[in-house]
Amino acid sequence: MADDKSKAQTDPADALDAPSGDGAADEEAVTESAADEATEPEGPWTRQSIDIPDGPITETVEYNTYPADRFSHDELDLADDDLMPMLRNMLLQRRFEERCRQMYQRQKISGFLHLYIGQESVSTGSVYGIRLGEDSVITAYRDHGIGLAMGMDPGVCMAELFGKKDGCSRGKGGSMHFFDASKRMFGGHAIVGAHLPLGAGVAFAHKYRGEDNVCLCFFGDGAMAQGAYREALNLAGIYDLPIVFICENNQYAMGTAVDRVQAEPDLFKHGRSFDMPCSLASGMDVFSVNRAVKDHVALARDGQPSMLEIRTYRYQGHSISDPAKYRQEGELDARKSEDAIVRLEQYIVNQGVAADSEIETLDEEIKQEVLDAIEFAENSDFPDDDAIYEHVYAQEDYPFIN
Amino acid sequence: MATLQLREAIRAAMTEEMERDENVFLMGEEVAEYNGAYKVSQGMLDQFGPDRVIDTPIAELGFAGLGIGAAMSGLRPIIEFMTFNFSYVAFDQVVNNAPNMRYMSGGQFGCPIVFRGPNGAAGQLGATHSNSTEALYSNFPGLKVIAPSNPDDAKGLLKSAIRDDDPVVFLESEQMYGLKGEVSDESDYLLPIGKARIAREGDDVTIVAHSKSYHVTMKAAEELEKEGFSAEIIDPRTIKPLDIETIIRSVMKTNRLVVVDESSPFSSVASEVTHQVQERAFDHLDAPVLRVTPPDTPAPYAPNLMDRYMPSVEEIVRASKRVMYAAA
């Protein structure tokens, strides 16, 4: 997290304290500051100084980092018994989406399909850092992973992808619009950046009600080029909202590399503009994500919004139709060699928590669970034709133009 | 009956609803410390405090979206746009998030929010500050659009809008904020959304007009009366859903229709009313439906051009006579 040295140095009172060669000014500043503490009246007027300090303003800023392989599970208050469920949580996302790809090719799934494969540690590490069902989560359109990680039913999710009435959004949302109110999963949003203000609003509601719940707001590196990013962080900053802005930087906004379109590609640093603590975590290690999210959630519960960039990588194209030719040769293989699921599997074996054979058994169970999800989706019906008019308005007798 | 300015009636509606339901809050530019750019929210900060009457930065997209997120969480935000011209900066939020959330989530997340503020031209402010947005926002399924013409309707409809579980665009008028009118003393005065008001009864021609245009139309009706023509005036009050039944009934009586609308003419409220009437009451029409709207141009600045731009008494009288085949 960024320390506050920079803030101290740009505070007008401190600026006046800086050596200026003008002893009178120094003396005046001290007097003023003493008087301020005693009688500072309340009011909506500006506190900002227009006395410009001599000499340059320098800043020293620290950002916390959460690299891969730094953290062990016991340091994160995770028990041995948490590890296999964590692995299950990640594996379910991957096996589910591998089948999604197949189901798309078989034309069971239509529309856009953005796969999360490669990024599972971000969702799982985050979900293990919140109070599931009390804290809120909102994300962008690459939403299957976080939905499943939060415990959304795979069958219900697959049914949504199939456009069936038993889908999580009743067949009206599709891949990009997963929602689950019971889990406080606020979607699934497909206009890049447009849900960041919504996340601020969800956090606002937590605060308004006097709860100590928080909102995790996920978005991609592409969203950070939108104006909505700036507006949401500024609002969160001025209202002290309990929110963690989590940038899942998977390196590409569709096919455009992050450093081609961001003047400051160290995205975590952007949060400094809003006086927020900012960190950088590895998305190739679920423990790094978990530690980072826990630290940031603690800030949010204290009313301190913050910015967390998680560097991750998507193995698939932007969507199912993208062959991802923009990658450098060898890039994908290099990232895959750091795969977060493999890393956790090796960790579990090395720790003696489970043997390879138990992990294989778990994997087989999950594969079957996904096949069951497909069967559920197959057996579910498409929505009735009349459903087109349902859920447009809360008003039951709305007079539609037919 | 109390006599209130339009701004006072709107303030009374918000105040009563905030007293009644702690989930209701007001957010927007200058609503709190400044007491409202047009003094609509005057005194509300003192009464409700800064947690419920909330100043924002100039970030319409951001605070409109924040309101939507809060509404999805079950709060009932009133989001004030200083004018609806600035709602265009928040367009994506108003048209692509608020009205779609219930649908896309299969009914799991509603969006009980009110976007309100002044709409339409307000004198010589030039093109960017003179937009009439009612036709535009009515094009989006999931939104409701209300545009009252007087303090009584404003109070009753705004209270209903705040309680409504759907997102509502509530369009006021800068030039009407000082307009005085009798307002019901009923302790909990609610008017139904989607019901038109027959503002003036007549037999010879039906004129449909809302918001500011309604007042111009009432003056035109007086001019027509002097020449022996009796105009029936219908104020739809709610643009969406439109109370077409009341309009149709009137047309079946008068057989002639003029629609006055401050929206730009292409895909305007006037064109929608006209279409629905020809579709449902073609055989009752004795003349083509005429509309009185601004020309298909941006709003100008020069006073003579602005007079030319706005729907006028003369234009309404002329159109009415044409549909009655009366001598000009």
Mean pLDDT, all residues of chain B: 98
Per-residue pLDDT of chain A (402 residues; tens, 9 = 90+): 444 444 434 443 343 333 343 434 444 444 444 555 567 888 999 999 999 999 999 999 999 999 999 999 999 999 999 999 999 999 999 999 999 999 999 999 999 999 999 999 999 999 999 999 999 999 999 999 999 999 999 999 999 999 999 999 999 999 999 999 999 999 999 999 999 999 999 999 999 999 999 999 999 999 999 999 999 999 999 999 999 999 999 999 999 999 999 999 999 999 999 999 999 999 999 999 999 999 999 999 999 999 999 999 999 999 988 999 999 999 999 999 999 999 999 999 999 999 999 999 999 999 999 999 999 999 999 999 999 999 999 999 999 997
Handedness of CA A107, A112, A118, A121 (dihedral sign): negative
Answer whether B130's CB lies under 8 Å from B173's CB. Answer: no
CA distance readout (Å), B237 to A216, A260, B272: 41, 51, 15
Residue A384 φ then ψ, to 5°: -60, 150
pLDDT in tens, B238-247: 999 999 999 9
pLDDT in tens, B64-109: 999 999 999 999 999 999 999 999 999 999 999 999 999 999 999 9
B190 C-beta neighbours (distance < 10 Å), count: 16
B65·A198 Cβ contact <8 A: yes
A201·B65 Cβ contact <8 A: yes
Fold of B2-183: Rossmann fold (3.40.50)
B208 to chain A, minimum CA–CA distance in Å?
19
Q: Which amino acid is at B82?
A: M
Identify the CA nearest to B281 among candidates B246, B236, B321. B246
Q: What is the pLDDT of residue A16?
A: 37
Q: What is the pLDDT of residue A38?
A: 64
Answer whether A305's CB lies under 8 Å from A276's CB. Answer: yes
C-alpha A281 chain-centroid distance: 12
d(CA B223, CA B220): 5
pLDDT in tens, B275-326: 999 999 999 999 999 999 999 999 999 999 999 999 999 999 999 999 999 9
Query: Which residues in chain B have Cβ-Cβ distances shorter than 8 Å to A391?
Result: 102-103, 105-107
Residue A281 φ then ψ, to 5°: -125, 155
Which of A177, A194, A390 is opposite residue B65, by nearest beta carbon? Answer: A194
Identify the CA nearest to B215 among candidates B167, B156, B285, B150. B150
Where residue B1 falls among pLDDT bands split at 50, 70, 90? Answer: confident
Q: What is the DSSP string of B189-210?
A: ----TT--EEEE--SSEEEEE-
What is the percent of chain B where pLDDT is above 90? 99
* Token pair of B99 as six digits: 């009205």
Place of tokens 């826990």: A294
Query: Which residues in chain A have Cβ-Cβ distances shorter than 8 Å to B141?
Result: 392
Query: Would you list the domain boundaries of chain A?
Result: 64-382
CA distance readout (Å), B192 to A10, B82, B241: 55, 26, 11
Q: What is the pLDDT of residue A402?
A: 77
pLDDT in tens, B129-151: 999 999 999 999 999 999 999 99
- Mutant choice from A231, A382, A388, A389 vs B, greatest count of B C-beta within 10 A: A231
B23 to chain A, minimum CA–CA distance in Å?
9
Residue B5 has pLDDT above 90, yes or no: yes
Say if B2-183 and B197-323 have the same CATH topology: yes
Residue B260 has pLDDT above 60, yes or no: yes
Q: ipTM > 0.90?
A: yes
Identify the CA nearest to A109 among candidates A321, A254, A365, A323. A321
Cβ pairs A/B, distance under 8 A: 151
Query: Would you list the domain boundaries of chain B?
Result: 2-183, 197-323
In CATH, B197-323 is 3.90.76.10: no
Query: Which residues in chain B have Cβ-Cβ distances shorter than 8 Å to A171?
Result: 106
B106·A169 Cβ contact <8 A: yes
Which of B57, B69, B112 is opposite residue A204, by nearest beta carbon? Answer: B69
Q: What is the pLDDT of residue A15?
A: 38
- Mutant choice from B63, B66, B140 vs A, greatest count of A C-beta within 10 A: B66
Residue A123 φ then ψ, to 5°: -65, -50
Q: What is the pLDDT of residue A37?
A: 57
B62·A202 Cβ contact <8 A: no
A205 to chain B, minimum CA–CA distance in Å?
5
- The set of catalytic residues of B is 60, 129
A28/B31: higher pLDDT: B31
Query: Which residues in chain A have Cβ-Cβ distances shorter than 8 Å to B104?
Result: 169, 172-173, 177, 179, 187-188
Which of A169, A199, A202 is opposite residue B105, by nearest beta carbon? Answer: A169
DSSP bridge partners of B259:
B208, B291
C-alpha B137 chain-centroid distance: 11
Answer whether B78's CB lies under 8 Å from B172's CB. Answer: no
SS3 A373: helix
Residue B18 has pLDDT above 60, yes or no: yes
A228 to chain B, minimum CA–CA distance in Å?
6
**CATH homologous superfamily of A64-382:** Thiamin diphosphate (ThDP)-binding fold, Pyr/PP domains (3.40.50.970)
